[in-house]
Homo-oligomer: A and B are copies of this chain.
Amino acid sequence: MVVALGFDNLVFSQFVCYSILLILETIGIALLVIRIRVKRKVFSFPEDCSQFIVGKHHLKPTADDAQIKRLRRCHLNNLENIVPFVTIGLFYVLTEPDPWTAALCFRSFLVTRIVHNIALIQALPQPTRTFSYLAGVIILCFMSLSVFQRGKM
């Protein structure tokens, strides 16, 4: 017998990989923020600034610049979408879905997030960003419905 939450279950195995890819992408954005902060010397806290001396003056904490604002918004938006995906996805795996449908859901969700992030960071013309966000929401709703058909309240 194949255990539902084990790597011998192909659907679970795929779910695990796509979840981790989403998370690593989000961590990558956080590291990018650190890199840009150091490069442009834009910091929020005095203790960060005191590491850097420009001319004879210490840096002062400044409000985030436009690029950092975009990246942080992107990071937060990813987090807001990873939590539902990981939670609903785990429950969805337990409903023993059709492997082909499940793989389609996981792959499409990853694609919508990548498109969303590129659209946000590169300031692509709307409605690219909104549509990719809504496509992700539709996938989440589809998985939720599949789970609700099995659940009891």
Contact = CB atoms under 8 A, between A and B. Distances in A.
Interface in A29-84: 30-31, 34, 44-48, 50-51, 70, 73, 75-76, 79-80, 82-84
B24 A144 contact: yes
B17 A153 contact: yes
A-side binding surface: helix, strand, loop or mixed?
helix
A147 B20 contact: yes
Contacts of A141: 24, 27
Interface residues of A, number: 60
Contact of A27 (B24, B73, B94, B140): B140
Count of identical protomers in the assembly: 3
A87 B83 CA distance: 9
A34 to B, nearest CB: 7
A125 B83 contact: no
Contacts of A46: 123
A103 to B, nearest CB: 9
A124 B47 contact: yes
A148 B17 contact: yes
Interface centre among A7, A16, A45 (most CB of B within 10 A): A16
Contact of A47 (B24, B123, B151): B123
| Complex A-B, nearest 9 residue pairs according to Cβ-Cβ distance, in ascending order | A17-B151, A13-B152, A7-B150, A17-B153, A23-B84, A16-B151, A13-B151, A16-B91, A47-B123
